[in-house]
Amino acid sequence: MENFTIKGYRTIRGYDGDCMECTLYLDGKKYAQCFNDGNGGETMIDFYNLDDRRKVMDKKNGYRELCDIVDKLCDQQELKKDAKKGIVIECEYGWKIWQWKVQIPTLLKKYRNGLEVLQREYDRAVSEGNKVLNTEYLASVGVKV
């Protein structure tokens, strides 16, 4: 995968699902504007440069591959937001969150045994054979991963 990144990622609730918009960068330069209207179908990509568009369209499955890259980058952004909500567990169609009434920072700040509870639930998730996706964040708040 080439050096793609996204900026300006945002979502809103649409008629049939979530809508998404972001700017795609290649090697730090604006490459395309991407959006998904939430009505089914693939992410739409509007290239800033016509030559870039031709290169993608001339390659077999190039547009589909680029859509997949954008979707993965957007998933990473969503996962980053969800990391603070609870223990993020991989499941068949993405991830689910084992969470409390409060997010992890509040759990740790408000409750004396917050880290203990978090560690116990992390250990339980792992012992049940689940793949925890936010281990980096959990480790940063003191969970032994």
pLDDT tens track for 94-144: 899 999 999 999 999 999 999 999 999 999 999 999 999 999 999 999 999
pLDDT at residue 1 in the model: 47
Q: Find all residues with CB under 8 Å of 127, minimum gap 6, and list them.
A: none
Question: Would you say how long the chain is, in residues?
Answer: 145
DSSP-derived letter for residue 132 is B
CA nearest neighbour of 25 among 8, 43, 50, 44: 8
Instruction: Give the global pTM.
Output: 0.80
DSSP-derived letter for residue 16 is S
Query: Domain-by-domain residue ranges, the chain?
Result: 4-80, 83-140
- Averaged pLDDT score across all residues of the chain: 91
How far apart, in whole angstroms, are the C-alpha atoms of residue 28 and residue 3?
8
